[in-house]
Copies of this chain bind each other. A is one copy, B any other.
Amino acid sequence: MRVGVADTTFARVNMGGIAIGELRKHASVSIERVTVPGIKDLPVACKKLIEERRCDIVIALGMPGGAEKDRVCAHEASQGLIMAQLMTNTHIVEVFVHEDEAEDDRQLAWLAEQRTREHAVNAVRLILYPKELEKDAGTGQRQGFEDAGPARR
């Protein structure tokens, strides 16, 4: 199994490094890493990890700013990541932490780390343990902040 990790120099937390550490805890996989300037560079970077460096799944990590223009960038990046998946029949787990989700730098760093770790586990499940995800279907899982839980308890 080969996992791609793509992150950015724009992000204010080394999300790629965190993802790699977490992946190594859960599975014996080889890792291909690439860092690009910003989130709009991620779609093609992920597609190249899949097609040129033969990754079975990719984690795309980014930290959009809080302004309206940044939200538009994140939207464009997300559309591109979905298209890249459709063109390759391969999952790309998007891990975006919006700067305005956190109250200060300290919480931002915590949130980026926590969400990255939880989605690294999701990536492992998607390729190795799909039944674990099925077991959690409809249970209101969240990555980073607290789970919402099921509507019926």
Contact = CB atoms under 8 A, between A and B. Distances in A.
Stoichiometry (number of copies): 5
Contact of A138 (B9, B37, B77, B148): B9
9 contacts: A7-B137, A7-B138, A9-B138, A10-B140, A12-B151, A17-B137, A37-B133, A83-B86, A112-B151
A11 to B, nearest CB: 5
A30 interface: no
A36 B78 contact: no
Interface string A133-153: 110111111110000111110
A8 B137 contact: yes
Contact of A91 (B41, B75, B92, B98): B41
